[in-house]
Every structure is written in structure tokens, then in C-alpha cells.
Amino acid sequence: MRIFTITLLLLGFGYFAQAQKTVTASEARTRVGDYLTIKGKVAQVSIRKKVCYLNFTHKFPNNEFVAVVFKENFGKFGNLRKFEGKTVKLTGKVSRYRGNPQIKLNDPRKIKIVE
């Protein structure tokens, strides 16, 4: 009986860890510190020497949210421009940089094109 109870608890925790609410880029602005799945349209992909910005909803500087990929992870994602103009879902912890909400991406499994 004890093993059965422990198994149920572990399965339950696994389910709730995966069952996250999907929010929009604008909703993510108020959820800094939370681990979320965000669905939105990538309006602009801006690739610089050391970082790539995926700007959501509008082009910079009017974007509502940004996904950030640092240079050391570029190779993991392939052509980052493939996300431009696409609706994607990405998962990660929302942080804030210079007042703007962001998720730092280092794993390509955390972002998927959905439309």
C-alpha cells in the first residue's frame, strides 16, 4: 500500500508540473518569476553578434515580449529566422531585463512553431 501511495504522489506531481497554463505575450508581462508556456507571434527576429532576439507581437522597440538566444546556443536552433512571422509556443521562466519581460532559451525543445 505504501508503494502504491508513493507512486500516485509521484505521478500526480509529474502531471501538475507539466500542466501549465498557456498565456499570451502581453499576459506574461505580469508573470515575472513564473515558469510559463507562452503562445504568440514572432514579429521580428534580430540576430546580433552575441545574441538573437525573437520579438513578439510587434517589432522592437514596441514588442510586448522577447525570447533571447545567446551565441553559445545558436547552433542548437539552426536557422533562427525560421521563427519570424510564425506563431510559436515557448516554455521557460519569465524574467525582466531593462524593464522588458523575456525568456532565455537554451534548449530548442522549449520552442515550437504551431502555426
pLDDT 10s per residue in the chain (115 long)? 666 555 444 555 544 444 478 999 999 989 999 999 999 999 999 999 999 999 999 999 999 999 999 999 999 999 999 999 999 999 999 999 998 999 999 999 999 999 8
90 assigned to some structural domain: yes
Angle at 54 between CA 101 and CA 39, to 5 degrees: 70
pTM of the entire structure? 0.81
Domain total for the chain? 1
7 assigned to some structural domain: no
Cα–Cα distances in Å, from 78 out to 41, 88, 92, 112?
A: 19, 16, 19, 13
Query: Which structural domain range is residue 72 located in?
Result: 21-113
Q: Are 88 and 57 in contact (CB under 8 A)?
A: no
Q: The C-alpha cell of 72 is what?
A: 553559445
11 assigned to some structural domain: no
CATH number of the domain within which 30 lies: 2.40.50.140
